[in-house]
Structure 1
Amino acid sequence: MAVTGSERSRLRLVVVQALVFSLFATLFVRLYYLQVVGGEDYQAMAADQSVRDIVVQPQRGLIVDDQGRPLVANRTSWVISVDRNVLDKLTERQRTELVRRVSVVVEEEPADIEARLVTCGHEGSVRGTCWNGSPYQPVPVARDVPKEVALRVLEQPEDYPGVLAEQESVRAYPRPFGVNLAHVLGYLSPITEEEYDAAVAADDQSVNGASSVGRAGVEKQYDEWLRGLPGYRRVAVDSMGRVLGDDSVVEATPGDTLVTSIDARVQGVLERQLAERIRIQRQTVDPVTGRRYAADAGAAVVLEAKTGRVVAMASQPTYDPDVWVGGITTKELDHLYSEAAGTPLLSRATQGQFAPGSTWKPFMTAGALQNGYGTDTVLPCSSGFQVGNRVFKNYESGAYGNIGFAKALEVSCNTFFYRIGYNFWQKFGSDVDDVEARDPLVEEAKKFGFGSRTGIDIPGEAPGRIADRKWKRAYFESQKDYYCDLASKPQTPDTSDFVYKFAREFCIEGFAYRAGDAVNFAIGQGDTIVTPLQLARAYAALANGGTLWTPTIGKAIVSPEGEVLRRIQPRKAGSVEVPKQYLSYIDAALQGVTRQGTMAWKMGGFPLDDVTVRAKTGSAEVYGKQSTGWVASYTEDYVVVMMISQGGTGSGSTGDAVRKIWETLYGIEGEQVRPAKAAIPGTVQPRTLPTFTEDGAIVPPRPAGSAKGEDR
């Protein structure tokens, strides 16, 4: 039976109706699934697309001196950041234009801005410049910008989509009494990729990819306490990355405060005196060379004799610690490492290594008195002392006849100590091949801590060097190939006669510890080197009866609420086993140095009967350079050591400065001691800490004269 046209039309309509119904049914089911079954999930996903997690960096803890004066504080700084999520939505042309606008407003090159936007580890990333933080965190491209720049960005958001201007906390240096203290305080720089990965692996939540961490000084040593804990802020943003409001906030926890043993008033005087003496010596003609002293570097240290606490420490040349705030330029960094500028980043007090010269002699005296010599020993102080075919001379070829140890220390007689060093070499070590030969003077130097680090609580300390037989043999083994190769070739115009001759001699017998090495060691010359801090600690042992303290700068850790979390107690590193009668004898001899010896001409009118200063001067000769001048001095309370490289004689270069520091410590005016004028109330540091209130304010401690002499 044939189907009519009308029936075919109705059939098509039914099919279409069925198809439309199935489409609507499918759409309804899908809408039901999206809105009812999966509605919460999709709502959360939509919310996530409009919310950003921003790390809130904590305010770093303060660093204060013994009286509570801030040495390092914080200030607010404007930072310009770019949200890469917004940047990625722009066309290439729009992105280029936005980066150009940002570069103009912050006065940077567009390429530099682009380099900071690249995630570390990705293609094109530059170490030290790339972004090491969260991919969802706005990337800082300019720090410490002027307020007007930040306001320009804030007031013209349509011209700077995805660009934020916010305030952050950065380091500030109040400089009480004008102190610099750069080498003690240290500096901060952004966390490296390796450090961040290690922190993540260790589940250390105190740092994040945008953190700055301590790199030197107490900033590095106590970084764990100072850094605090970051907070987190979830903010709602629109499609252009503009912040609409806070979604939730987890407050950052500020870092703890570090109380140090540094006294800002003493530190200020120490720094000014060191800088002034270097300036004066550079204008003074060296009678030996006929030219002005180079006075290229210097250092000074003040220690508490009974605890080893560092009261003040300075190094020249130095630098402005503000140079690290907001990021350091390549030019500035090159200057800090520049030898032409004197390598300002190097702390001469803890990292500088110099021949100690005659400041070495008290320790040689202690060694001699315990090994066959006596306080009644008398030896010639002749103008020269011959060893083999060489005459080792006294300073300016002076001669004082037959004298004892006390007089030898007073007048700093070299030939007296040459004889002692030579005698021990003949007695114990004339066999130059015997690296195990005994040397009482070397043994004594090691007892006083020379040749090893003091353990001070700032990183990067140098160990110094005791140039004994084992060291000389090891040095020969490490250098013989170079010098033997040089000696085997014909001399060239580039090689001086001295270098060529030295290479030949070194190749043949550079391992030999000869009599000349022994006599040089006895007066602090030759290859033996010390740091100013090592020398200060050893003199503290003379002052306190033989205890070697580990020098410390940190005194206590205090929470932002004022709770003392940790007291950093002085630590004994060991004892110097020298009989008391010998220490007393050396002490009396060093008193003679300031009264009638080599330091006396700088101490005229000083009230030595009230403040008994012991001292030893030193002038260390360095081949090809001018002498390094030293003064090491102490009382029962403090040790003061100062040195100037290529500065001339010890008392001539630093004597006036050392005297001024003693006057500051004890409040001396003219010939009168006025305790009320002392730099530190009570003359010595109090046992108590500054008082911290709950709002973070600091109340200095009361004067505590009764604390004198107690362990603090």
Structure 2
Amino acid sequence: MNERSGLRLVVLQVLVLSLIATLGGRLWFLQVHSGEAYEAAATSNRVRDIVTPATRGLVVDVSGRPLARNRTALVVSVSRTELLRQSDGGKSLLTRLAEVLDVDYADLKARTTVCGQPGAVRNVCWNGSPYQPIPVADGADDDMMDAVQQILERREDFPGVTAEQQSVRDYAGGGVGANAAHVLGYLGPVTEDEVAQAQADGRPLQSSDLVGRAGIEKEYDAYLRGTPGVRRLSVDSQGGVTGTISETDATPGDYVVTHLDAAVQKATEDALAAAVKGARTTGDPNKGGQKFKADSASAVVMDVRTGGVVAMASYPTYRPNIWVGGISQDEYEGITGAAGNYKILNRATQGEYAPGSIFKAVSTAAAVDAGFSVHRSYNCPGTYNVGNHLKKNYESAAYGVISFERAIEVSCDTNWYYFADTVWNRLGGYEQRSDAKDPFVQAAKGYGLGEATGIDLPAEAGGRIPGREWKQAYWKATKAAACVRAKKGYPEVEDRARAAFLLQLAKENCTDGWRYGPGDEANFAIGQGDVLVTPLQMARVYAAVANGGTLWVPQVAKSVMRPDGTVVKQFAPKSAGKLPVSKDTLSFLQRALTKVSVTGTGAGVFRGWPLDQVPMASKTGTAEVFGKQSTSWFASYAPADKPQYAIVMMVTQGGTGSGTSGPQVRKIYEKLLGVSGSTVRPATALQPGAAPPKGLPRITEDGRVLPPASAARKAAAKPKTPARTPRSTASAGTG
């Protein structure tokens, strides 16, 4: 062997040894280092998990009446895998199915399209696993039964289409027809991100699950959803089941007991709809008799002693069951778009509006802080000059020198213009600092305005308290646009007077829009201008005035219970602080608001009411909005001597508070307190004893939900209570 051949042999040996070492190392890596992982992967190929959904918990009212429950229905589902196997991608199959179900082909196509794929329609597309049958229709009526019968008889025409009994959500309205769509919310398919987050948090969530998307359904989803059952099956290489490895039963979801009263909710919804209807048949004297548009409205009924929300209604509304079984594109656009006036918006918690004169319960405290005594009298002229601009009382009424109490009764704007103008000058006029301690701003914030109340409903708005710092920040953000408009004008606005006003406003905002002028202060004092609040915020304000000054965190849920009746969690009333007012000022406000219902702007609302037995505290509000008709407000609490409930109603472009909202608030009180004409009939009150039940609903062994024991006893005793007739009839003032 020569030297070259030996070298080649050595190289070959090294190469062979390297290959052996590499193979040995790889074998060690697979069998030793990664053996457990591969073993687990192999095991998973031999195991299949069958998930049994948990029964979703009920949402019930304070007496145990079901607001959201479950019902059994025939559910038609389509296998997406089978659709893709069709030569035409499933078009002919969906066309036949749409004809049988009497729905549009486009809707079926949208529902069976996986979210994220081309053509997917948001909130309509399928957001679950693409390997799971997709539900496309459900029901229990004769039409549904006929459709299912056709599908079952013509299986060859409907491959991959199944029909079976399943549990679906049902918004039952408490058995009295309550809607409560905005409070209850709805369910929607879970997203991949939510499944991943749930797994990271150690929470069971499957891609086929439905989760809460709004309202109580979203806020308390973790309680309501329950825990799904899992059956682990061993399978062979062909996918055949060879046995059961383990099985865990599903745990049903918990029940959420609310402060809502289904009967009061229905009465509130009916009153709100009546207020809108009534406004639309009434002529606006400021618009040449044009009928009020009354395009949106809301009402809140609150327990002043706990902050519990007894009823909450928003207009326009929609059927909550529209989401059950999937929503069509037309239906979705109908409740979320401008054409339907954004029906999905909860005006009580998400709508922000100028409050008008009901804000005087707040600015009264500010006036006292500024040194104006509630025990003095002040001049109430028909007009007041603010910054060289003549501002009027509503309808230009002049009352002369009157007491502070009378100023609240008749809602004298010029009194507050005087207070505001004096405060503005004391703070330095146009030279005042942006951080000046304005008593009107301080009082509003002390009343909890300008921030969310903390109610247990998602997406709450906080309103706006526009002080000097806000004015500067807003000017910086809008200066460029204002300067463009100052040059361009508003040629697209047909109303030339309005176009001229907008042009002048743009010129001012372009040059010195940052300055906080006397007009800003005057508007603030009467709840106009840039001040924005939600109806829920104002209900809490009047509840605090009624109960002695405590600002409660509004609460919809009262407790969480297991289906066997065990209490999981109780939500005790939670204070958010005290009103920044003295006892003397608070007592004054309570007296003045009670007088409003007797000889003030609310007297027409309560004409014929048994005020000697059930005194009422109220305040009307008519907020003027540039370019629109007035917003109607009515804020109240009752009984004024022993407050239990606060009710606030608002109707945008609805006219006056005393003419539109007030009469319908009275209707709610009539049913709530059992008042018929001038007679009090406790036996007819919606809540026995004219107070919400203190106990919790009872759950029987067979699953029935019964009223609290205390409420049941009161209800049984109601017929024994005689009607009370009034001892006298109170005088009525102007409406």
Query: Normalised by the shorter chain, which TM-score bucket?
Result: 0.7 to 0.9
Change (3 A) 1:109 1:408: closer
C-alpha contact (below 8 Å) 2:60/2:68 kept by paired residues: yes
Change (3 A) 1:254 1:158: same
In structure 1, C-alpha distance between the alignment counterparts of 2:339 and 2:633, rounded to whole Å: 24
C-alpha contact (below 8 Å) 2:365/2:585 kept by paired residues: yes
Task: Name the counterpart of 1:224.
Answer: 222
In structure 1, C-alpha distance between the alignment counterparts of 2:656 and 2:124, rounded to whole Å: 47
| Range with greater deviation from structure 2 (648-657 or 249-258) | 249-258
In structure 1, C-alpha distance between the alignment counterparts of 2:597 and 2:501, rounded to whole Å: 40
Task: Name the counterpart of 1:606.
Answer: 609
Task: Name the counterpart of 1:27.
Answer: none
Residue by residue over 1:632-682, the C-alpha shift from the partner in whole angstroms, topping out at 9 and shown as x without a partner, is 111211101111111111111122111122222221122222222211112
Task: Name the counterpart of 2:472.
Answer: 473
> Could you tell me which amino acid in structure 2 is paired with residue 64 of structure 1?
V
Q: Does the residue aligned with 1:178 lie in a helix, a strand or coil?
A: coil
In structure 2, C-alpha distance between the alignment counterparts of 1:472 and 1:671, rounded to whole Å: 50
How high is the TM-score relative to the length of structure 2? 0.83
Does residue 574 (structure 1) correspond to residue 577 (structure 2)? The answer is yes
Task: Name the counterpart of 1:696.
Answer: 703
Q: Does the residue aligned with 2:709 lie in a helix, a strand or coil?
A: coil
> Could you tell me which amino acid in structure 1 is paired with residue 680 of structure 2?
V
Task: Name the counterpart of 2:295.
Answer: 296
Task: Name the counterpart of 2:71.
Answer: 75
Q: Does the residue aligned with 1:300 lie in a helix, a strand or coil?
A: strand
RMSD across aligned C-alpha pairs, in angstroms? 3.3
Change (3 A) 1:460 1:119: closer
| Range with greater deviation from structure 2 (136-145 or 601-610) | 136-145
Q: Specify which of 49, 62, 69 is matched with residue 66 of structure 1.
A: 62
| Range with greater deviation from structure 2 (137-146 or 241-250) | 241-250
In structure 2, C-alpha distance between the alignment counterparts of 1:558 and 1:238, rounded to whole Å: 43
C-alpha contact (below 8 Å) 2:443/2:580 kept by paired residues: no
* Residue-pair matches, total: 662
* TM-superposed deviation, 1:127: 5.7
Residue by residue over 1:243-278, the C-alpha shift from the partner in whole angstroms, topping out at 9 and shown as x without a partner, is 999998643322111100001111111111111121
Where do 1:242-641 residues align within 5 Å? 250-289=248-287, 290-432=289-431, 434-489=433-488, 492=491, 496-635=499-638, 636-641=643-648
Q: Does the residue aligned with 2:54 lie in a helix, a strand or coil?
A: coil
* TM-superposed deviation, 1:224: 0.8
How high is the TM-score relative to the length of structure 1? 0.86
C-alpha contact (below 8 Å) 1:161/1:242 kept by paired residues: no
In structure 2, C-alpha distance between the alignment counterparts of 1:705 and 1:544, rounded to whole Å: 27
Residue segments in structure 1 that go unaligned for 5+ positions in a row: 1-43, 708-712
Residue segments in structure 2 that go unaligned for 5+ positions in a row: 1-40, 715-735
In structure 2, C-alpha distance between the alignment counterparts of 1:643 and 1:269, rounded to whole Å: 16
> Could you tell me which amino acid in structure 2 is paired with residue 257 of structure 1?
Y
Q: Does the residue aligned with 1:318 lie in a helix, a strand or coil?
A: coil
Residue by residue over 1:159-206, the C-alpha shift from the partner in whole angstroms, topping out at 9 and shown as x without a partner, is 54443222221111222322111111111111123222322333321x
* TM-superposed deviation, 1:397: 1.0
Residue by residue over 1:521-574, the C-alpha shift from the partner in whole angstroms, topping out at 9 and shown as x without a partner, is 111111101111000101111011111000000011111222111111111111
> Could you tell me which amino acid in structure 1 is paired with residue 597 of structure 2?
T
Change (3 A) 1:704 1:163: closer
C-alpha contact (below 8 Å) 1:73/1:171 kept by paired residues: yes
In structure 1, C-alpha distance between the alignment counterparts of 2:455 and 2:122, rounded to whole Å: 31
Q: Does the residue aligned with 1:288 lie in a helix, a strand or coil?
A: helix
> Could you tell me which amino acid in structure 1 is paired with residue 560 of structure 2?
I
Q: Does the residue aligned with 1:641 lie in a helix, a strand or coil?
A: strand
C-alpha contact (below 8 Å) 1:53/1:137 kept by paired residues: no
Residue by residue over 1:94-129, the C-alpha shift from the partner in whole angstroms, topping out at 9 and shown as x without a partner, is 977656654554456777666666665678866656
Change (3 A) 1:508 1:528: same
C-alpha contact (below 8 Å) 2:234/2:241 kept by paired residues: yes
In structure 1, C-alpha distance between the alignment counterparts of 2:505 and 2:290, rounded to whole Å: 27
Change (3 A) 1:244 1:339: farther
Identity across the alignment (%): 48
* TM-superposed deviation, 1:242: 13
> Could you tell me which amino acid in structure 2 is paired with residue 680 of structure 1?
Q
| Range with greater deviation from structure 2 (231-240 or 246-255) | 231-240
Structure number with larger C-alpha Rg? 1
In structure 2, C-alpha distance between the alignment counterparts of 1:94 and 1:576, rounded to whole Å: 65
Does residue 658 (structure 1) correspond to residue 656 (structure 2)? The answer is no
Task: Name the counterpart of 1:149.
Answer: 147
Residue by residue over 1:381-411, the C-alpha shift from the partner in whole angstroms, topping out at 9 and shown as x without a partner, is 0010012321011111111111121010001
Task: Name the counterpart of 2:53.
Answer: 57
Change (3 A) 1:546 1:228: same
Residue by residue over 1:127-159, the C-alpha shift from the partner in whole angstroms, topping out at 9 and shown as x without a partner, is 656554446533435444823333443445455
Change (3 A) 1:504 1:654: same
